[in-house]
């Protein structure tokens, strides 16, 4: 695209465009990119020009067009952000800065990195959504030229496009851009399926002949006869949309009845309903296929009437009826908001305002999504929650006071409660739908009136997390569960510390503990209690932090002090032994302890075991040996009054060998066929071994499962736990420390 062509494209919709600034940006970017080439062999400068051209079709303002022309300069050339700000102003500089940050964090396939990068993407567009529009246009042009990339990179970028960018464009209401992104991503991910569907569409079009034109003429004539001026156009569904419906509803291509759709564009709101009346009195309506998105718009501001009728020649006809203004928003979404006030405060029309219609539903959804960033979820959880909302269609429900709540299809009263307010969800105990009591897992339908029953003492069960469908509900349930677990650990930690101070004959108070917080590297006393309860901090360390002159004297009978000096080592016969020397220091030769029955054998806690990586403690039983427990084991409370039996031990990480160690897991799963097969497959895939299993049905819907495993170390065990938690039927997984 030539320099004058870019200016002409902008001035067609914005005669007051800053021609000089556009020309300077063109020349600056062209000189900055110089002889750089793309993977296709084309000059690199062609890419930012094509991105700018896409945005001129959306009638965006000068600053956005210029930012598109300059968006790769800071990242890929010698240009600096300071120079951009000096030459083109702070507004354009801020846009280029946001786009440069996004380019540096291009999404990768690993879930954690992808989640973190998506958080950054949304944060970058929070202040100015034009950054997102340029990013979407940038992705669209890259997809149009994707055939020049390596196959692995091509598939990765195509998958990202279907996972993130196409749904995000849909949420911003940019239907045309979304459909092209979906089709391009589908073509590169599934080329054979794409080719098959395209071929069948061509055959169907040839077979249908003038059917589309005939229906257009019949509809136009009927509307004109009633005095309604309307533009009727027919269109064919795109390959990706067809494939998605076939997959979603398990249909064959021949079973699809809405491959051709028709759009009726009228001038006024009243004419929308008048046109609907003409259609419904001319042809029978297909039950269940009528949706009024004018009275209840979608969250991305989409407004239209959808209906399906048995039309001419008994052909099923899908119709969308809307005004021209609604059609513009339906196609261009948030970029279609053209009314704004200029700097002098006058109402104006033309290119989009820099703040881009911040009152639009699409932008409000974006802001609400960004608010989730403050909730402390991990990047993986945030990506999971946001994808749930990106991909789902919606149902519209009402509170008893008439407030409209939009939810993803498949939502439950629990999702509804959290959509109203987090506190409502956390205290929900029952629900009424249209005046009738229903289970909290009941699936909501369009138009339902939902009333939530609450109890102040209630808290959400952890199992709810796997049963709700909205990101907000999952996030809130997960936070509430973590808070409850933290409170339990803190309570346990307080009890442990009170006993530890009592054994040391020292007074215990939170005020004294608060003074020792810097030495314990914790912010609050609650953090200390929770750390002790979880086994992350030894109670003796807390006592010494509060009373630095305190010395803990624990002695096994007839032996020298071994506090902190024990070491688990592997003997030649591959059994584990505890070793130390008389002075309390770890012996480099690993001399075994001598007890009443020779070397002291080491066994592991009978209910849960211990694995390398755990902080551990040994309990000495004369004549028997040492039993090793994880430091967080509740069973250790039985030995609180016998400090002489306690041994501080640690793993010999340098010991060679390939021995597995015992661990126990407690799972709660949904009752459905194949659950145990999924669990066993996860353990097998991670090279774990199941030693024992017990199952008990707790309720009609849930089963408690206890697994005894053999694993290599704590990292190995945590990997198994993480994978089990990712399985949909598994509602919770906890390690048992007996």
Known catalytic membership, residue 75: yes
Catalytic-role residue among 19, 57, 75, 190: 75
CA distance 116 to 380: 7
CA distance 100 to 74: 7
Structure tokens at 128: 């100015």
The count of other CB atoms within 10 Å of the CB of residue 426 is 18
Q: Which helix (H) or strand (E) holds 666?
A: strand 661-670
CA distance 396 to 196: 37
CA distance 616 to 377: 30
Assign 601 to helix, strand or coil: strand
- Do residues 738 and 730 touch, judged by C-beta distance below 8 A? no
- Do residues 707 and 693 touch, judged by C-beta distance below 8 A? yes
The size of the chain, in residues, is 738
**Residue tagged 């979608």 (tokens):** 298
CA distance 132 to 130: 5
Cβ-based neighbours of 232, under 8 Å, separated by 6 or more: 216, 219, 220, 223, 262, 263, 264, 265
Structure tokens at 124: 């970058």
CA distance 477 to 482: 9
Among 189, 190, 168, 186, smallest CA distance to 177 is for 168
Tell how far CA 25 is from the center of its chain: 37
CA distance 21 to 87: 9
- Do residues 692 and 708 touch, judged by C-beta distance below 8 A? yes
Catalytic-role residue among 8, 19, 57, 76: 76
Known catalytic membership, residue 76: yes
The count of other CB atoms within 10 Å of the CB of residue 394 is 17
- Do residues 131 and 125 touch, judged by C-beta distance below 8 A? yes
Alpha-carbon distance values, 306 to 324, 326, 708 (Å): 15, 13, 56
Catalytic residues, by residue number, are 75-76
């Amino acid at each position: 695209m030539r320099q004058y062509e870019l200016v002409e494209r902008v001035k067609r919709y914005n005669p007051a465009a800053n021609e000089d600034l556009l020309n300077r940006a063109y020349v600056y970017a062209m000189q900055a990119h110089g002889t750089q080439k793309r993977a296709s062999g084309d000059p690199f400068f062609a890419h930012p020009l094509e991105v700018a051209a896409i945005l001129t079709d959306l009638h965006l303002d000068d600053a956005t067009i210029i930012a598109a022309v300059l968006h790769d300069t800071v990242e890929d050339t010698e240009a600096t952000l300071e120079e951009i700000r000096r030459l083109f102003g702070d507004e354009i500089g801020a846009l280029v800065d946001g786009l440069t940050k996004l380019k540096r964090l291009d999404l990768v396939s690993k879930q954690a990195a992808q989640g973190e990068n998506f958080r950054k993407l949304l944060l970058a567009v929070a202040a100015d959504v034009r950054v997102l529009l340029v990013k979407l246009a940038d992705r669209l042009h890259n997809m149009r030229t994707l055939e020049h990339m390596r196959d692995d990179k091509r598939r990765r970028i195509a998958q990202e496009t279907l996972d993130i960018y196409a749904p995000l464009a849909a949420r911003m209401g940019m239907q045309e851009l979304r459909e092209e992104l979906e089709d391009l991503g589908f073509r590169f991910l599934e080329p054979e399926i794409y080719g098959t569907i395209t071929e069948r569409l061509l055959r169907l079009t040839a077979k249908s002949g003038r059917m589309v034109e005939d229906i257009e003429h019949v509809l136009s004539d009927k509307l004109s006869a009633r005095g309604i001026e309307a533009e009727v156009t027919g269109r064919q569904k795109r390959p990706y949309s067809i494939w998605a419906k076939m997959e979603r509803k398990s249909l064959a291509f021949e079973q699809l009845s809405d491959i051709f759709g028709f759009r009726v564009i009228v001038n006024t709101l009243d004419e929308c309903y008048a046109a609907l009346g003409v259609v419904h009195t001319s042809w029978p309506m297909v039950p269940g296929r009528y949706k009024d998105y004018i009275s209840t718009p979608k969250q991305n501001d989409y407004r239209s009437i959808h209906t399906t009728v048995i039309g001419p020649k008994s052909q099923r006809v899908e119709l969308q009826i809307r005004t021209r203004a609604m059609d513009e928003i339906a196609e261009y979404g948030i970029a279609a908001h053209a009314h704004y006030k200029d700097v002098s405060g006058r109402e104006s029309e033309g290119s989009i305002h820099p703040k881009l219609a911040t009152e639009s539903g699409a932008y409000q959804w974006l802001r609400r999504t960004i608010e989730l960033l403050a909730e402390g979820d991990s990047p993986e959880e945030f990506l999971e929650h946001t994808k749930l909302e990106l991909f789902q269609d919606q149902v519209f429900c009402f509170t008893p006071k008439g407030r409209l709540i939009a939810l993803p299809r498949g939502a439950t009263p629990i999702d509804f409660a959290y959509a109203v307010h987090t506190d409502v969800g956390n205290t929900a105990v029952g629900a009424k739908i249209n005046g009738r009591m229903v289970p909290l897992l009941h699936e909501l339908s369009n138009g339902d009136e939902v009333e939530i029953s609450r109890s102040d003492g209630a808290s959400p069960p952890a199992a709810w997390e796997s049963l709700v469908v909205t990101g907000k509900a999952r996030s809130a349930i997960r936070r509430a569960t973590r808070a409850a677990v933290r409170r339990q650990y803190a309570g346990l930690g307080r009890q442990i510390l009170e006993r530890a101070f009592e054994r040391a004959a020292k007074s215990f108070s939170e005020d004294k503990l608060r003074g020792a917080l810097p030495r314990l590297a914790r912010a609050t006393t609650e953090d200390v209690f929770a750390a002790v309860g979880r086994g992350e901090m030894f109670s003796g360390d807390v006592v010494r932090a509060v009373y630095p002159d305190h010395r803990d004297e624990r002695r096994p009978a007839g032996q020298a002090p071994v506090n902190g000096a024990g070491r688990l080592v592997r003997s030649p016969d591959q059994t584990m032994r505890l070793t130390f020397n008389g002075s309390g220091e770890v012996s480099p030769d690993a001399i075994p302890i001598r007890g009443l029955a020779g070397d002291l054998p080491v066994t592991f806690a009978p209910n849960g075991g211990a694995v390398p990586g755990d902080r551990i403690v040994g309990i000495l039983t004369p004549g028997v040996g040492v039993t090793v427990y994880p430091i967080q084991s509740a069973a250790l409370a039985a030995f609180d009054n016998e400090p002489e039996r306690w041994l501080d031990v640690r793993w010999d990480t340098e010991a060679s060998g390939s021995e597995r160690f015992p661990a126990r897991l407690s799972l709660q799963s949904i009752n459905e066929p194949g659950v145990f097969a999924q669990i066993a497959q996860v353990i097998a895939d991670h090279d774990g071994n199941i030693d024992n299993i017990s199952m008990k049905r707790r309720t009609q819907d849930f089963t408690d499962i206890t697994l005894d495993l053999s694993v290599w170390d704590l990292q190995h065990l945590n990997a198994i736990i993480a994978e089990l938690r990712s399985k949909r039927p598994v509602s919770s997984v906890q390690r048992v420390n007996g």
